[in-house]
Amino acid sequence: MDNTHKAFDSTNVFVFIIRWWKHLFIICAVAAIASAIFSGPRFITPKYQSTVTMFPATGGSVSQSVLAGAAARQDFLDYGEVEDAERLLQVLESGNIRDRILQRFNLLEHYDIAEDAQYKYTQLMEEYRSNISFRRTQYGAVEISVRDKDPVMAADIANELSALVDTVQNELRYDRAELAYDVASRQLNRLREQVKEAEDTLRQIMHLGVFELEGQSSMITRQLAKDISAGHTEGVERLEDRLSLLGDYGGAYVFNNAYLINVSEHLIMIQRRYQEARSDLESFVPFKFVLDEAFEAERKVFPIRWLIVFISTFAAGFMGVMIIMVYENLVSKGIIKPKTAKTPKA
C-alpha cells in the first residue's frame, strides 16, 4: 500500500500537531479569550435560580375529613397521589396564576419589554415560559423553579406561585361550596317550615282532646261498655262524644304525627349536610405540603462560563484541525501552492 493511502495513525497525528502547534494554539487561545469575554455579564445577563418543593395533599374536603362518618371519612393529612400532583401542575400552568404573577411583579417592565413593542405579550409569554418551569419529581413531589436576574425576585416569585396554588384552588372550590351551601340552606329552611306546620296542626288537634288515637279509643271503648252495662246514660253520651271526636280528628292526628316523624328524620340529615357545606364554605383548605421554600440564591446558574469556554475552545480547535487538514490535502494534490518566502534579487 503506497503512502497516499496510508492510515492516519497516532504517529501522523503527533507529527501533524507538532507541525501546526503554533497555529492551533493561536486559534484555541483566541477562541478561549473571546468566549470568556462574550460570556461575561456585559454580554449575557446572569440569572439566579430559586426552587420550591412541595407534595400534593389529598383532594378531600374538610367536611369529609372531620364531619363525615367513620366509613366515609378521608384522612385530611394524607399525601396526594399521582393524579393530585398532575392536578397541582395543571393549576400552576393555568392562565389564572400566570396573569396574577405577571401583574403582581410587573414582569413586563422587569423583563425590559417596551410598552410600544409590536408583539410585547408574545415576548412576555416567551420570557415567562423560559424563566419559570414546573415539574413532577420521581418521588411524587412538585417542583417550582424560577430563574431571574434578581435573586430576590426569583425567590419571591417562586414562593408566590406556591401560595397561589391554594388561593386559586380555594376560589374554584368556593364557587361549588357556595352552591352546595345555598341548596342545603334552602332545603333546611323548607323542612323547618314543614316541621312547624305539622307541629301546629298536631297542637290544635291535641287541644281538642286527641292525644293518642289507639290508646284513647281503646280506653274509651272499655269505659263505654262499663257505663252501658251500669246504665250511666250521661256517661255514655259523654263517651260517645269523645269517640265521635276521635273519629273526626283521629285520621288527621295519625297522618300529621307520621308526617312529623318522617320530616324530622329528613331534617336531621339535611342539618348534617348543611353543616358540611358551611364548613367547606368557611374553611381555607391547603392543597399542598411545602417541603422546601424558595430562598435568595447566592450563586448564578446561568451562564456556565467554564462550559462555554471549554466548548468554544474545543470547537475552534477541532475546526482549525479540519481546515488545516483540508489545506494540506489540497497542497499535496497541487490544487493550491503553499506560500514560500521570496528570494532576494541578485
Res. 321: pLDDT tops 70 = yes
How high is the pLDDT of residue 101? 94
Res. 265: pLDDT tops 60 = yes
Half-sphere exposure of 98 (CA within 13 A, CB side): 17
Element (H, E) at 55: strand 48-56
How high is the pLDDT of residue 61? 59
Name the DSSP letter for residue 70: T
How high is the pLDDT of residue 220? 53
**Mean pLDDT score, 53-66:** 70
CA distance 28 to 39: 16
Q: In what order do the strands lie in the sheet with 288-292?
A: 132-136, 142-148, 48-56, 288-292
φ and ψ of 100, to 5 deg: -65, -40
**Mean pLDDT score, 322-344:** 71
Mean residue pLDDT of the chain comes to 77
3-state secondary structure of 335: coil
Residue where the block lists cell 462555554? 308
**Contact between residue 320 and residue 28 where contact means Cβ atoms under 8 Å apart:** yes
CA distance 162 to 183: 33
Res. 309: pLDDT tops 50 = yes
> What residues contact residue 178 under an 8 Å CB cut-off, 6+ apart?
281
Res. 189: pLDDT tops 80 = yes
How high is the pLDDT of residue 192? 86
How high is the pLDDT of residue 5? 45
How high is the pLDDT of residue 233? 56
Q: What is the pTM of this model?
A: 0.64
Res. 307: pLDDT tops 90 = no
How high is the pLDDT of residue 10? 52
Residue where the block lists cell 419559570? 132
**Mean pLDDT score, 88-105:** 92
Which of 52-88 are b and which e, b meaning 16 or more Cβ less than 10 Å from the residue's Cβ? bbbbbbbbbbbbbbebbeeeeebeeeeebeeebbebb
Res. 143: pLDDT tops 70 = yes
* Type of residue numbered 195: V
Name which of 218, 211, 262 is nearest 239 in CA terms. Answer: 218
C-alpha cell, 323:
481546515
Best-predicted range by mean pLDDT (35-49, 225-239, 328-342): 35-49
CA distance 299 to 309: 19
Angle at 326 between CA 322 and CA 327, to 5 degrees: 115
Cis geometry, peptide bond prior to residue 286 (ω within 30 degrees of 0): no
Res. 289: pLDDT tops 50 = yes
Lowest average pLDDT, out of 38-42, 53-57, 187-191, 321-325, goes to 38-42
